[in-house]
Chain A
Amino acid sequence: MANLLWLQGGACSGNTMSFLNAEEPSACDLVNDFGINVLWHPSLGVELGENLRKLLRDLVSGAIPLDIFVFEGTVVNAPGGTGEWNRFAGRPMKDWVADLCKAAGFVVAVGDCATWGGIPATAPNPSDSQGLQFLKREHGGFLGKDFTSKAGLPVINVPGCPAHPDWITQIVVAVATGRTADITLDEFQRPKTFFQSFTQTGCTRNMHFAYKVSATEFGQRKGCLFYDLGCRGPMTHSPCNRILWNRQSSKTRAGMPCLGCTEPEFPFFDLAPGTVFKTQTVMGIPKDMPNGVDKKGYIALTAAAKNAAPRWAEEDIFVV
C-alpha cells in the first residue's frame, strides 16, 4: 500500500483532467490493482476544512507516511515572496509544498507548471511562479537544485501541457511498486522511457519531412508541419506519436504542429500576431534546425531530397 497525495498550485487543472482520462492504467486501476491509497486529490478528495488540515499536518509530522507527493501547477511566491496569492488549507500553498516535499518518499511534478513554471512563469511572471526544481531551463526552482526526497531521488518531472494521462499513471505505478530503479532521468529529470525520443518518432508525416513537402494549412492531410507551420517535433522530446492521445491520435496526426510542450522553453515563441504557428526563418532558412543539422547541411539535404521526392509525396496519402 502506497499513500499518495496530489495537490494543485498555480494551475488550470489540465493535468487533473488528463489524469482522470488515463486508461493504461486508469486512475481506478491505481487503487484496485496497484494498491495506491489516494489520500486526497483536488477532484477526488472527500475531506474538507479541519479534516483536511489535520490530514496535511499528519503527513508533515510523519504520523501518516507520505509515499508519493504529486504536485500540479506552479509554486506561487507572490506577493513579495509570501505566497499569499495561493492559500490552501489555512496557509500559503508554498509552505505546505516545502513541508510535504521534506516528508515525502517521492516527489512527482506533473505538467509544465510544476516542472518548469510553464505558462504562469512566462515573463513578466506576475505570480512570481516557479517549478518545483526548475525555472524554465534553470536548475533550482522552488526546492533548490540539491533537493532529494526521502528515497534519494530529485523531483521526477513529467512535463507536458498537459502531460499525457498514461505518462502520469505509469510513473506513479512504477514509483508505487518499487520499480524506481527502472526509471532513469534525463538532464531535466524527465523519465527517459518517455522523453528520450522525439515527437517526430512515429509521426506519419516523416516521409514528407524527408522529402521536404510542406503542409501549408492546419488539418491538411499531407505534408510536414515543420517548414511552414512551426512544428517543434524534430526538437521536442516526447512520445506523442508512440503513445497516442486517446489511443488514436496526436497533434501531428490531426494536422496540428507540435508546440514543444514537454521542453522547458514552452511557450517560447515570439507571440506577436502573425508569428504563432509560423516557422521562424532568416533569409528563407529556418531559425531552429532539426537536431544535429547545420545550415549548410540543410541546404544540401534539401536539394538532394527535392530531387529524390517520389510522385506520391505530392498526393494526399491520409485516406480515412
Chain B
Amino acid sequence: MRERIGKLLADGLKTQTEPFPETAREFSRLLDELYRLPPDDLRGKLVLSGFTDTPYGPERMRCQECMYYLVHRKWCDLPELAVPVEADWWCRLWRI
C-alpha cells in the first residue's frame, strides 16, 4: 500500500495542498469532508488531504514530526486517513 501511494505521488497525482487549514475549525471542516469519502477511496483521500512525497514549505514540514505519525509503524494514525506513509511525506492535515 505504501508503495502504491508512493507510485501515485511519484507519477504526479495532483493533490490539493492548499489552503493549509489555519485554525482548528478549518481543520475539522477538512476532516468532515474526508470522513464523507467512501472508505476505500484512496485517491480521494490523497487528493483531499493534499499529500506530497516531499517535505513541504519553508519550514520543511513532514510526516516525521507530525502528531499523527507513528514512527515505528510508519503509519498515519489520524483516523480519517489511517494509511501507511513515509517519514518524508507531508499532507495538509499536518499538526505538531
Q: Is B27 an interface residue (CB 8 A)?
A: yes
Q: Which of A213, A272, A285 touches B96 (beta carbons < 8 Å)? A: A285
Contact B70 A303 (CB under 8 A): no
CA of A67 to CA of B62 in the docked complex: distance in angstroms?
Answer: 62
B95 contacts the other chain (CB 8 A): yes
Does B65 lie at the interface of the complex (its beta carbon under 8 Å from any beta carbon of A)?
Answer: yes
Judged by a CB distance under 8 angstroms, whether B24 is at the interface is yes
With contacts A228-B67, A274-B25, A282-B22 known, is A217 near B79, CB below 8 A? yes
Within residues 296 to 320 of chain A, which ones have a CB less than 8 A from any CB in chain B?
A: 298-299, 302-303, 306-307, 309, 311, 314
Contacts of A306 in B (CB 8 A): 64-65, 69, 71
In the complex, chain B residues whose CB is within 8 Å of the CB of A279: 24
With contacts A214-B68, A306-B64 known, is A281 near B27, CB below 8 A? yes
> Contact at B20–A284, with CB atoms within 8 Å?
yes
Report how far A213 CA is from B70 CA in the complex, Å.
Answer: 8
| Given A284-B95, A285-B96, A309 contacting B71 (CB threshold 8 A) | yes
Interchain CB contact under 8 A, A275 and B96: no
Most B C-beta atoms less than 10 A away, residue of A216, A227, A311: A216
- A interface bracket (residues with beta carbon within 8 Å of B): 20 to 34
Task: Assess whether A283 is in contact with B70, with CB atoms less than 8 Å apart.
Answer: no
Given the contacts A216-B77, A302-B65, A307-B71, A278 and B24 also touching, CB distance less than 8 Å: yes
**A287–B27 CA distance with the chains assembled, in angstroms:** 14
Contact of B28 among A213, A217, A278 (CB under 8 A): A278
A136 — which chain B residues lie within 8 A by C-beta?
A: none
Q: Are B22 and A283 in contact (CB under 8 A)?
A: yes
A255 to chain B, nearest CB (A): 15
In the bound complex, do residue B25 and residue A283 qualify as a contact, i.e. CB atoms below 8 Å apart? no
Cβ of B25 and Cβ of A212 under 8 Å apart? no
A280 proximal to B (CB < 8 A): yes
Q: How far is the CA of A118 from the CA of B95 in the complex (A)?
A: 32
Known: A216-B79, A299-B65, A307-B71. A227 touches B23 (CB 8 A): no
**Quick one: which of B23, B29, B32 contacts A282, CB cutoff 8 A?**
B23
Which B11-57 residues have C-beta < 8 A from chain A? 20-25, 27-29, 32
| Those 4 A-B pairs whose CB atoms lie nearest each other, nearest first | A284-B95, A274-B28, A280-B24, A227-B67
